[in-house]
Amino acid sequence: MPKISLDESTLPSFEQRLQGITGDSQRKWGTMSASQVLAHLAQSLKMSLGELEGVEDRSNFLIRPIFKFIVRNFHFARNVKAPRIFFPESSGTLETERAEVLVLMRRFVEESGREPNRRAVSPIMGPTELSFWRLVNGKHLDHHLRQFGV
């Protein structure tokens, strides 16, 4: 399976695909609307930057390597419920949500390039280096973009 990372080389493609989500976009699975998915993506990007409040490390020495193995080797599964912290109320229009995701993606690429060893906490992976968050974010973005057919 190809490694889908969010980095300088893939950012333009992710930006272009993100523009393909419209108010008329129909999801292929799940229950979130396009606007809700964008708010969800913004939350996860904030977490990977260490900027999401209320994130607790609930990982342990067994779960961390298993989850990281899954991220490295498989696509994200469909219809898996993430913790509630990842499902904020959509705070604005589709365009507002998209603009926030674009800004966060660009900041993440910049910061992960400058400080790849910096860590941000994940409830499942514990303190995780930004270099690994590149893979997590890339696969997560790809998962939800495919959910909306882009």
pLDDT above 90 as % of the chain: 70
Chain centroid offset of residue 137 CA: 4
Would you kindly state where each structural domain of the chain is located, as residue ranges? 11-147
This prediction's pTM: 0.90
**pLDDT tens digits for range 15-29:** 999 999 998 999 999
Q: Which fold has domain 11-147?
A: Four Helix Bundle (Hemerythrin (Met), subunit A) (1.20.120)
pLDDT above 70 as % of the chain: 91
DSSP string, 23-90: TTPPPSSSS--HHHHHHHHHHHHHHHTT--TT------TTHHHHHHHHHHHSPPPTTPPPPGGG-PPP
**pLDDT tens digits for range 52-96:** 988 989 889 998 999 889 888 877 767 667 666 667 776 678 999
Long-range contacts of 114-118, Cβ-Cβ distance < 8 Å, separation of 24 or more: 118/50
Exposed e or buried b for every residue in 15-32, given b needs 16+ CB within 10 A?
eebbeebeeebebeebeb
**pLDDT for 119 beyond 80:** yes
Rama region for 133: left / alpha / beta (φ>0; ψ in -120 to 50; rest): alpha
Residue 122 contacts residue 59 (beta carbons within 8 Å): yes
**pLDDT for 1 beyond 60:** no
pLDDT class for 131, splitting at 50, 70, 90?
very high
Q: Report how far residue 125's alpha carbon sits from residue 129's, in angstroms, rounded to the nearest whole number.
A: 10
